[in-house]
Amino acid sequence: MNYHLVLTRRCNLNCDYCHGGEETEATEIAYSIDELEDFLSKDKDVQLMLYGGEPTLKIPLIVNLMDRFPNARFMLQTNATRLHKIPRAYVRKFHSILISIDGREEITDRYRSSGIYKKVVKNARWLRSIGFKGDIVARMAVSQYSDIYKEVIHLLDLSGPTFDHVHWQLNVVWDADGNWRNFDGWVEKSYNPGITALVNYWIQYMREGNFLGIVPFIPITYSLLTGESSKLRCGSGIDTFAIHVDGSIGICPISPDWDFSIVGDIRTTHPKELRNVMHVDEPCPSCDEYGLCGGRCLFANKQRLWGQKGFEKICEIVKHLINSIRERIPDIQEIIEEGKISLEQFKYPEYNNGCEIIP
């Protein structure tokens, strides 16, 4: 099972679109590591995705966890401002590190504060300089000032090499008030055309034998090539859960304050009780694209903070992305047949690494 282990709800940044890092009553872990060990010992294959707030605010705890659970597979999701403070021997133990960066310098700094871009890129490059051999993923939050084509291309073009893969999530979970001035116009004039252009760019590089790590495209293409069907791709409520700072277990790390999302507690729940505990509701299971999309987001499906019309708008965006790839499947098949790339390259991620796949 995969567990987002929330190390703290505090964060050292105050990004425009983020509702995390709140100074609430429960910000720090209130259970013992012995209690955590007792819970995890009942699971034969443990993956811990260290999460926050900002997990690198708790570096001694990170070290303690890695020492305490040497057989677990570790992932890290971080804003990377303090990444270089983790002891190098422990950094090298991570299978994947997801780094928050939103594209070009002016876009990242606009959302995340001045100077953040340079600090993040420096620390991402530091990873390779110390011999980190795992997957480095640029994890973007895409909002109203983002040009998806320009932001993704920029991150892919960074030298170092810096990022193995680029993934993004749309700023469409929380209430739109104050977040968007013209969401529909942005989708029509910027995002959807940018996705189509990005798919074309991706395939152009394939023709030259180069495989760019654009995360949302890769698993969707694999499913289209093989006919494979997928449930909710992030695994939320199926085999992926969050352990919150109070020891409660939720379907997702972003939703600790909603009662529906809490499905257990490390002190009283056995891991086998969690698997497949919650699934998306209609209209997702009846949608023609359900086998490819899987329902996008369990939290959004249950809460629909944008209302039903807003929920449907996001579905249309997802369908555009899927159709942009579907239209080019004959070209991808031809490139595979020519031996320039292989089907195996589309098997990503190796393990669920916190990339939700569907933006």
Confidence of residue 16 (pLDDT cuts 50, 70, 90): confident
Q: Is residue 267 included in any domain, yes or no?
A: no
Q: Is residue 134 included in any domain, yes or no?
A: no
The pLDDT of residue 179 is 75
Q: Is residue 48 included in any domain, yes or no?
A: no
**What does the mean pLDDT of the chain come to?**
94
The pLDDT of residue 22 is 52
Q: Is residue 296 included in any domain, yes or no?
A: yes
Q: Residue 81 pLDDT > 70, yes or no? A: yes
The pLDDT of residue 85 is 98
The pLDDT of residue 252 is 94
Backbone angles phi and psi of 96, in degrees to 5: -140, 145
Confidence of residue 17 (pLDDT cuts 50, 70, 90): confident
DSSP strand pairing (73-78 vs 240-243): unpaired
Range of the domain at 203: 178-232+280-353
Q: Is residue 166 included in any domain, yes or no?
A: no
Dihedral angle at the C-alpha atoms of 317, 322, 324, 325, nearest 10 degrees? 150
Q: Is residue 217 included in any domain, yes or no?
A: yes
DSSP string, 275-286: TT-----TTGGG
Q: What is the pLDDT of residues 275-307, one digit of tens each?
A: 999 999 999 999 999 999 999 999 999 999 899
What is the mean pLDDT of the segment spanning 18-40? 82
Q: Is residue 316 included in any domain, yes or no?
A: yes
Q: What is the pLDDT of residues 97-154, one digit of tens each?
A: 999 999 999 999 999 999 999 999 999 999 999 999 999 999 999 999 999 999 999 9
The pLDDT of residue 351 is 95
Total domains present in the chain? 1
Best CA proximity match to 341, nearest among 224, 217, 162, 205: 205
Q: Is residue 58 included in any domain, yes or no?
A: no
